[in-house]
């Protein structure tokens, strides 16, 4: 919490700017505007296009130098595609990616090459991403060969320095990937990514294939390297606990869109988007006292809809307990609801309702159940929430408290304090 | 499902057209590109030292001077409605489907092929039944008893079967069973309709020779597929249900393990339908393979072309069958 | 059972208990060992594990990859190939010993009295058979009923596990289901015969967090309804805390700590358990600056370190005197009622480290 309050003054100046970024702060190292990637679906002998997987559909965000942006979402939300787009392993269908002020959206492979030095990627699978026939030395020195760079003191010396940097022994130079454990392989992948002294590192699920005890080693390593080398990270993961630990700011994605983008503390203590709230409440916590019905868990019903034909309006409205008519028709824009906190929702949690005149439909109430309660109770709860929201002209603090009935994660934080000054 | 079938059939018809075009190109276009004149091309249809009149007649009959698309059109038209050639003393009729007319022997190719189809089919079908049953059975057993003496022995024999050339095994078996022990002294093809018993009896040796190679191959493939499948998670699930091991193997393992074999079988079988060249030769059976050899050795282009086309048609047809069988086996194909 | 009390290994709560004692519990595993012969040597995947489980209760088995947790569960189900695995020890299920029982008897129990859910429902369901057909098959193995009755039962189960339009989805194939729905179908299949023991091997690892919450909720509800005993195997401490009454922590094929969830989470007694707790970022606590990882990597199961298998990674390996951690394997000893730990440190030493060094950092 202290972190959040601390951040507010510096955030305030940026409030209201179109992309929600800090206009007075340092130039963003990466600026993404309206990023779109559709994968066409073809059919028949003639391969005629019958539709598209709308993997990423209009993302706008900035990454500031030295920060870690966490991107979290469930499978199929487009987070990995996003990672491949900003590293330009994929070419965007639309929108713009600017790296240090330079438009790299449609650069050719040749023109991209110098830029590849500055943007590197770490992959999830430490087994699949290292060529088993090459030695560690060969793998880590590949970037030098590709870029035609001769580091000071020779390639071998530099590779050994990198191995040491990521916590491996320089003697590992001539060994092969199969001689290493998963955690060590991930370190090799990190060493390779760092070889050319990149500015931005995009890590796609860097620890999800690793055991818990090893996960922590790699997370700490990434942390140390950031401090030491001044790296900027975009870390993509599905694990909300890991994301919270590593990130300064977090983007929550759902079906190809960012539904919420906020500072870490603000996001976890007072999530604004119902999806974020449901996601946070679903994280299992290693504390048996919260077992069973004791925690007010929001259980979303059903599955994420297909990205081939995503629902109109707000993409989350089919599973949202707060959905009203407008949610099905009008897509909510990603707007600033508190300093450093953007969300795309008509009826946000912990913030003034954007469309107070709309009432919750009966169908919406049935989209969730609160764990450990009978359905009747949960309906009542939804009703009381709805009443609180529709009758009161919501002051920011009230909006948060009206909700505590069904929210655990948000309520144990004194979010009112943080939000009070936010209301312009 | 219906859409899938229609799509596949449509694709097969398209493929047939492509096949005919390629065959046409090989026999008419490529020689021209290689610098052959229409005269030398025409000469191949009547043999060396033919008189210029005959060559001119061939050129006129085949329309060798026409533009290519027109030649191709005649080629296709002949297959569909037949053709008439004015060569030699009497006009010769080539009835539909006209897969060529041998100007050297004054014989239509298609009836010759039709006459030989029973031989080739008898050979192919019988051998296929033997090799599928024996190959799959041996493969499954050695996979289940992996590392046992049975496994090592059969896989050793299978390796030999895959490595030994057919003319070798064919000739050795002929030498042993026909000349040495004289079990089959007179190995003639007897049509099934005439005497089914004799038909089968006389085919045993060619069937076994042909099946030996294939069953060795299929045993190895089945074993590999079975070993892989039995390690799958769904096999563990089947066991976790409490199914009897036999049911786990047959219902859950075998079906998945054999699916890839369907493709291979489709190809192998289709190739044999176009003529088991070596086997027919070794046992002196007058099948399509023998006919093709006759065409090649006598440089009788229409025969070679006709057999090529018919064989290609069989392959396309079998491929279509494979696609349909796949859809029946695997719902992921059927429903995607 | 006398051999168990004689061995210096994990004797378990039923330490000197007789077979009859073990037989009284619903599920009782005694000194289970599962070893595999490989070209590289003998792999001791499970090396002397014992535990009890009562009907209606949930046991969580926690460990990292290679700790032997899945091998243990497959061993209970009798799913190891008798040619490849060497199994010893005793497994008592409702008064019946399974390792000595013939394979045919274990097969009859499988899917009926005990059943299992697997990690990845896409690969665990047969791609060629419809969901319905697979459930019907599971039902008809153990019940002599006609297809129609079995179908009714299958649809009823699909409905029970929350699959919408069960009668229609009955005919669908696994690839037409979403990940969460497939796991529901898998659960329906494993519960179709009302098993008294359900083993869930990483049931939610392949699923998204919101779907995971749904599935855990479902398992909990069904357990209440059917009063079955549940063994849940996972690497995720959050998941076990959600659902397990008792916890068993495994390391290198052995149980290193066992007790009620409350005991193990609030007063863990083994440095490895501390390591696991310190390694995970926790969403329910204040943000910490750094995680406290366990150094090194899990050991090879062919060359298990001497003494305490955890000693090369243990920050407190030098606390016990006489180099004990390197020379002698610690027994699983009872600390408080029902809470066991295999560590050479004295209880006082452990309590001190826990309260002074570990707990404040969590």
List pLDDT tens digits, range C254-286: 999 999 999 999 999 999 999 999 888 888 888
CATH level 2 (architecture), domain A25-41+51-252: 3-Layer(aba) Sandwich (3.40)
* ipTM for this prediction: 0.88
Q: From CA C229, how far away is CA C231, in angstroms rounded?
A: 7
| B315: CATH | 1.10.3720.10
> What confidence score (pLDDT) does residue A9 get?
38
Q: Does residue B89 share a domain with residue B191?
A: no
φ and ψ at residue C288, rounded to 5 degrees: -100, 155
Percent of chain B with pLDDT over 90: 38
Residue A137 · residue A75 · CB < 8 Å: no
Name the residue among C210, C237, C294 with its Cβ closest to that of A286. C237
B52-62 and B38-46 helices cross at what angle (nearest 10)?
A: 100
Provide mean pLDDT across the span C66-70. Answer: 90
Q: Does residue C16 carry a pLDDT above 70? A: no
B109 has pLDDT over 80: yes
- SS3 at position A411: coil
Domain limit, last residue, from B109, B126, B159: B109
Q: How many CB pairs under 8 A join A and B?
A: 5
B318 and B301: one domain?
yes
Q: Between chains, do C79 and B244 touch, taking CB under 8 Å as contact?
A: no
pLDDT level of residue C21 (50, 70, 90 thresholds) = low
CB A231 within 8 A of CB A199: yes
Determine, for residues C217 and A371 on separate chains, whether the beta-carbon distance falls below 8 Å.
yes
Question: Based on the domain organization, do B189 and B300 belong to the same domain?
Answer: yes
* pLDDT of the residue at A398: 38
Q: What integer is the mean pLDDT of C139-160? A: 95
Question: Residue B104 sits in which domain range?
Answer: 2-109
Tell me if chain A has a CB within 8 Å of the CB of C212.
yes
The whole-number pLDDT of residue A411 equals 36
* pLDDT for A361: 65
| Residue B132 shares a structural domain with residue B279 | yes
- B134 with B88, same domain: the answer is no
Q: With DSSP H G I counted as helix, E B as strand and the rest as coil, what are the percentages for chain C, rounded to 5? A: 40, 20, 40
Indicate yes or no: CB of C127 within 8 angstroms of CB of B243.
no
Instruction: Give the pLDDT confidence of C77-130 residue by residue, as tens digits.
Output: 999 988 889 999 999 999 999 999 999 999 999 999 999 999 889 999 999 999
Q: Which residue has better confidence, B190 or A7?
A: B190
Entry pTM: 0.82
Cβ contact C111–B241 (<8 Å): yes
C95–chain A Cβ distance below 8 A for any pair: no
Residues of chain A with pLDDT under 70: 1-25, 44-47, 291-296, 360-424
**How close is the nearest chain C Cα to the Cα of A1, in Å?**
9
CB count, 10 Å around CB of A98? 17
Residues of chain A within CATH 3.40.50.300 domain(s) are 25-41+51-252
Domain boundaries, chain C: 2-113+195-361
Residues above pLDDT 90, as percent of chain C = 67
Query: Residue C131's closest chain B neighbor by CA?
Result: B331
pLDDT the model gives residue A369: 62
Check CB contact of B252 with chain C, cutoff 8 Å.
yes
The three state secondary structure string of chain B is CHHHHHHHHHHHHHHHHHHHHHHHHHHHHHHHHCCCCHHHHHHHHHCCCCCHHHHHHHHHHHCCCCCHHHHHHHHHHHHHHCEEEECCCCEEEECCCCCCEECCCCEEHHHHHHHHHHHHHHHHHHHHHHHHHHHHHHHHHHHHCCCCHHHHHHHHHHHHHHHCCHHHHHHHHHHHHHHHCCCCCCCCCCCCCCCHHHHHHHHHHHHHHHHHHHHHHHHHHHHHHHHHHHCCHHHHHHHHCCCCHHHHHHHHHHHHHHHHHHHHHHHHHHHHHCCCHHHHHHCCCCCHHHHHHHHHHCCCHHHHHHHHHHHHHHHHHHHHHHHHHHHHHCHHHHHC
Confidence of residue B265 (pLDDT cuts 50, 70, 90): very high
pLDDT at A362: 59
Mark whether B27 and B132 lie in a shared domain: no
Closest-CA residue to A323 (of A299, A298, A351, A353):
A353
pLDDT at A28: 92
Asked if C361 has any chain A CB less than 8 Å from its own CB, the reply is no
Find the residue in A nearest to B15 (Cα). A45
Residue C244 in this model has a pLDDT that exceeds 80? yes
Q: Among residues A385, A337, A381, which one has the least CA distance to residue A359?
A: A385
Query: C89: distance to nearest CA of chain B, Å?
Result: 21
Give CA angle at B303 (B302, B305), nearest 5°: 65
The closest alpha carbon to C138, from C154, C126, C121, belongs to C154
**What phi and psi values does residue C241 have, to the nearest 5 degrees?**
-60, -35
pLDDT mean over B187-216? 90
CB contact under 8 A, C107 and B236: no
Same domain? B260 vs B278: yes
**Does residue B41 sit in the same domain as residue B136?**
no
Nearest-CA neighbor of A370 among A411, A344, A407? Answer: A407
| Contact across the interface for C281 and A219, Cβ inside 8 Å | yes
Residue A151, min C-alpha distance to chain C (Å): 31
Whole-angstrom Cα distance, residue C313 to residue B305? 75
**Mean pLDDT of all residues in B18-24:** 89
pLDDT of residue B184: 82
Average pLDDT over residues B197-218: 91
Taking the CA of residue B159 and the nearest CA in chain A, the distance in Å comes to 30
Answer yes or no: do B40 and B118 share one domain.
Answer: no
Assess whether pLDDT exceeds 80 at residue C10: no
What average pLDDT does this structure show over B226-253?
A: 94
Answer yes or no: do B241 and B306 share one domain.
yes
Query: How would you classify the pairing of strands C333-336 and C339-341?
Result: antiparallel
Asked if the model's pLDDT at residue B84 lies above 90, the reply is no
Residues B130 and B104 in one domain: no
Q: B interface mutation test: which of C77, C78, C108, C124 has the most B CBs within 10 A?
A: C124
Q: Give the model's pLDDT for residue A66.
A: 93
The answer for C 146-165 residues in CB contact with A (under 8 A) is 164
Q: Which of B243, B255, B256 lies nearest to residue C141, judging by beta carbons? A: B243
Q: Which CATH class is domain C2-113+195-361?
A: alpha beta
- Per-residue burial over C309-344, b if 16 or more Cβ lie within 10 Å, else e, is bbbbbbebbebbeeebbbeebbbbbebeeebbbbbb
Token pair of A386 as six digits = 């709805």
On chain C, the residues whose CB falls within 8 A of the CB of B330 are 127-128
Does C204 have pLDDT greater than 80?
yes
Query: How many distinct structural domains can be found in chain B?
Result: 2
What is the predicted pLDDT for the residue at B34? 83
Per residue in B212-238, pLDDT tens?
Answer: 989 999 999 999 999 999 999 999 999
Shared-domain flag, residues B48 and B118: no
Q: What is the pLDDT of residue A19?
A: 43
């Amino acid at each position: 919490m202290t972190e959040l309050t601390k951040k507010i003054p510096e955030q305030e100046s940026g409030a209201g700017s179109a992309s929600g970024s800090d206009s007075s702060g340092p130039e963003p190292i990466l600026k993404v505007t309206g990023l779109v990637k559709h994968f066409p679906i073809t059919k028949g002998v003639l391969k005629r296009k019958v539709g598209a997987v709308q993997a990423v559909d209009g993302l706008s965000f900035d990454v500031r130098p030295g920060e870690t942006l966490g991107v979290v979402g469930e499978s199929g939300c487009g987070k990995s595609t996003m990672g491949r787009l900003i590293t330009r392993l994929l070419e965007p269908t639309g929108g713009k990616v600017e790296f240090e002020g330079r438009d790299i959206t449609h650069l050719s492979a040749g023109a991209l090459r110098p830029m590849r030095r500055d943007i590197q990627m770490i992959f999830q699978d430490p087994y699949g991403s290292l060529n088993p026939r090459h030695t560690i030395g060969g793998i880590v020195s590949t970037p030098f060969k590709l870029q035609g760079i001769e580091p000071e003191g020779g390639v071998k010396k530099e590779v050994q320095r990198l191995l040491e940097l990521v916590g491996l022994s320089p003697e590992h130079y001539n060994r092969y990937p199969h001689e290493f454990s998963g955690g060590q392989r991930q370190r090799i992948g990190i060493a390779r990514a760092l070889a050319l002294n990149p500015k931005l590192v995009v890590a796609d699920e860097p620890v999800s294939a690793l055991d818990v005890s090893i996960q922590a080693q790699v997370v700490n390593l990434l942390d140390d390297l950031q401090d030491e080398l001044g790296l900027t990270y975009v870390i993509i993961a599905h694990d909300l606990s890991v994301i919270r630990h590593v990130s300064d700011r977090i983007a929550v994605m759902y079906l190809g869109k960012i539904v919420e983008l906020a500072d870490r503390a603000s996001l976890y203590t007072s999530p604004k988007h119902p999806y974020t709230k449901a996601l946070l409440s679903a994280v299992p916590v290693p504390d048996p006292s919260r077992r069973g019905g004791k925690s007010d868990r929001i259980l979303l019903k059903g599955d994420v809809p297909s990205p081939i034909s995503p629902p109109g309006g707000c993409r989350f409205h089919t599973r949202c307990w707060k959905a009203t008519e407008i949610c099905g028709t009008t897509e909510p824009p990603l707007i600033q609801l508190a300093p450093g906190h953007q969300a795309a929702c008509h009826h946000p949690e912990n913030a003034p309702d954007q469309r107070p005149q709309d009432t919750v439909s009966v169908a919406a109430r049935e989209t969730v159940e609160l764990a450990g309660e009978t359905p009747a109770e949960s309906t009542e709860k939804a009703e009381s929430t709805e009443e609180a929201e529709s009758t009161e002209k919501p002051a920011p603090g009230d909006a948060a408290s009206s909700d505590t009935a069904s929210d655990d994660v948000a309520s144990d934080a004194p979010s009112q304090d943080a939000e009070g000054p936010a209301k312009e | 499902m219906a859409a899938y079938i229609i799509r596949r059939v449509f694709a097969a018809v398209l493929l047939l057209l492509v096949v005919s075009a390629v065959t046409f190109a090989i026999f008419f276009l490529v020689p021209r590109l290689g610098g052959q004149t229409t005269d030398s091309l025409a000469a191949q249809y009547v043999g060396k030292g033919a008189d210029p009149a005959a060559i001119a007649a061939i050129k006129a009959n085949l329309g060798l001077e026409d533009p290519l698309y027109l030649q191709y059109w005649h080629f296709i038209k002949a297959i569909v409605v037949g053709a008439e050639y004015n060569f030699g003393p009497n006009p010769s009729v080539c009835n539909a489907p006209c897969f060529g007319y041998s100007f050297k022997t004054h014989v239509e190719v298609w009836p010759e092929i039709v006459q030989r189809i029973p031989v080739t089919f008898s050979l192919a079908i019988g051998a296929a039944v033997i090799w599928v049953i024996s190959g799959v059975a041996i493969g499954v057993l050695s996979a289940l008893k992996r590392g046992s003496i049975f496994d090592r022995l059969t896989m050793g024999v299978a390796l030999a079967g895959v490595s030994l050339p057919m003319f070798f095994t064919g000739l050795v078996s002929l030498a042993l069973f026909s000349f040495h022990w004289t079990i089959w002294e007179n190995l003639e093809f007897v049509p099934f309709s005439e005497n089914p018993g004799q038909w089968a009896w006389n085919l045993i040796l060619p069937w076994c020779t042909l099946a030996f190679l294939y069953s060795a191959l299929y045993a190895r493939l089945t074993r590999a597929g079975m070993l892989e499948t039995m390690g799958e998670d769904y096999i563990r699930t089947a066991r976790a249900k409490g199914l009897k091991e036999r049911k786990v193997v047959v219902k859950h393992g075998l079906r998945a393990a054999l699916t890839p074999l369907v493709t291979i079988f489709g190809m192998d079988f289709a190739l044999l339908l176009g003529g088991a060249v070596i086997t027919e030769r070794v046992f002196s059976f007058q099948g399509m393979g023998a006919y093709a050899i006759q065409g090649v050795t006598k440089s009788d282009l229409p025969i070679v072309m006709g057999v090529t086309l018919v064989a290609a048609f069989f392959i396309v047809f079998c491929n279509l069958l494979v696609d349909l069988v796949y859809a029946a086996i695997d719902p992921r194909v059927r429903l995607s | 059972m006398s051999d168990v009390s004689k061995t210096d290994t994990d004797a378990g709560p039923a330490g000197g208990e007789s077979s009859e004692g073990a037989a009284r519990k619903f599920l009782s595993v005694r000194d289970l060992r599962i070893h595999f012969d490989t070209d590289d040597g003998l792999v001791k995947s499970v090396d002397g594990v014992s535990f009890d489980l009562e009907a209606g209760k949930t046991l969580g088995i926690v460990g990292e990859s290679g700790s032997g947790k899945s091998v243990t569960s497959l061993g209970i189900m009798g799913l190891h190939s008798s040619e490849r695995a060497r199994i010893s020890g005793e497994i008592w299920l409702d008064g019946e010993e399974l390792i000595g029982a013939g394979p045919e008897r274990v097969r009859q129990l499988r899917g009926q009295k005990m059943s299992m859910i697997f990690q990845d429902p896409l690969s665990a369901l047969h791609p060629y058979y419809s969901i319905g057909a697979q459930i019907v098959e599971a039902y008809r193995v153990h019940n002599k009923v006609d297809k129609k009755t079995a179908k009714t039962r299958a649809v009823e189960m699909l409905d029970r596990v929350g699959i919408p339009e069960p009668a229609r989805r009955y005919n669908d194939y696994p690839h037409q289901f979403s990940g969460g729905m497939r796991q529901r179908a898998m659960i329906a299949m494993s519960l179709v015969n009302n098993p008294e023991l359900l083993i869930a091997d990483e049931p939610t690892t392949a699923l998204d967090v919101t779907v995971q919450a749904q599935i855990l909720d479902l398992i909990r509800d069904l357990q209440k309804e059917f009063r079955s005993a549940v063994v849940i195997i996972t690497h995720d401490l959050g998941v076990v805390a959600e659902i397990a009454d008792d916890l068993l922590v495994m390391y290198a094929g052995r149980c290193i700590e066992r007790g009620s969830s409350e005991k193990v989470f609030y007063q863990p007694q083994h440095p490895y358990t501390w390591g696991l707790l310190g390694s995970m970022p926790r969403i329910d606590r204040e943000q910490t600056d750094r995680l406290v990882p366990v150094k090194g990597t899990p050991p090879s199961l062919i060359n298990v370190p001497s003494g305490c298998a955890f000693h090369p990674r243990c920050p407190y390996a030098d606390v016990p005197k006489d180099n004990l951690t390197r020379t002698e394997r610690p027994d699983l000893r009872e600390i408080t009622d029902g809470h066991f730990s295999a560590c050479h440190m004295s209880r006082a030493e452990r309590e001190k480290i826990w309260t002074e060094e570990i707990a404040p950092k969590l």
